[in-house]
Amino acid sequence: MYRNYFLFLLYILFFCGLLHAEEKKDNWNNFKSHEAIYNLKLGNITNSSKIHNASGQMHITIKAVCDGWIINQNTTLDITDKNGFQRRNVFRYSIWESNSHDMLRFMSKVIIDGEELASYEGESYIKNGVGKIIYTRPHNKVINIPLDTLYPMKHFFISLDKNKTGELFNYIVFTGEDDKALNNVSTFTMDNLYEGVSYKIIRSANYNYNNNLLKPENEIEILVNPKTGVVQKVLFDYFDYEIIGVLKYVIYYNKPEC
């Protein structure tokens, strides 16, 4: 149930082919390294939903470094079922993605009620006509991946591209979240005014790459400031229930001196 709760920045985070040089430069200049905290709450639920209530916080840091990008995430979500039983879900996630978007290192943990239930670690690369995921934890495993696979920051920058507003695009995205983190992602973007400010809405439907199901596993929608790359609001839609995150706090970091 915990899977994909908090990785909205990885699914926008959240294209086909490489960025053009002018697009990459424009996106680099617009995006600001930052640390943000989001309050999480339960949104709409259906009669068949097993979840009665949910609340928590998501803490995310996204920073440019000299050789790439670093994302660190720490999320705590208290979930109450219809019988009143509550569980504390903690998700910890960290990645480094190279500036050339052809290498990724990843690590994640899931802790429920103080017990570690899952832990993943490894790296991935797409170079010289070869694409691979190499897991080193919980066990050694190597998976071949398509050469057009995107890593999180590259997918994010493409989604922010102003020339793609109002269109639907399909991508293959690997986030490094766990052993099911290779997904077909259909992304739609549109412009929107929120509290008098111009934002971009990015909605992604996520399909497991190894399944041929017509229905996505989930959909994620964000409201993002295209001038900074900071997400104001996020909606995790799991069809039986929704988790909503609203920006509470943000602090910006300077670009690295390389």
pLDDT in tens, 118-150: 999 999 999 999 999 999 999 999 999 999 999
- Does position 5 have pLDDT exceeding 60, yes or no? no
State the pLDDT at residue 211: 83
**Nearest C-alpha neighbor of 171 from the set 182, 163, 162, 161:** 182
- Does position 197 have pLDDT exceeding 90, yes or no? no
- pTM listed for this prediction: 0.85
**DSSP conformation letters of 99-139:** TTS-EEEEEEEEEETTEEEEEEEEEEEEETTEEEEEEEESS
CA separation for the pair 238, 219 (Å, rounded): 7
- Does position 190 have pLDDT exceeding 50, yes or no? yes
Average pLDDT over residues 245-254: 95
Average pLDDT over residues 162-190: 85
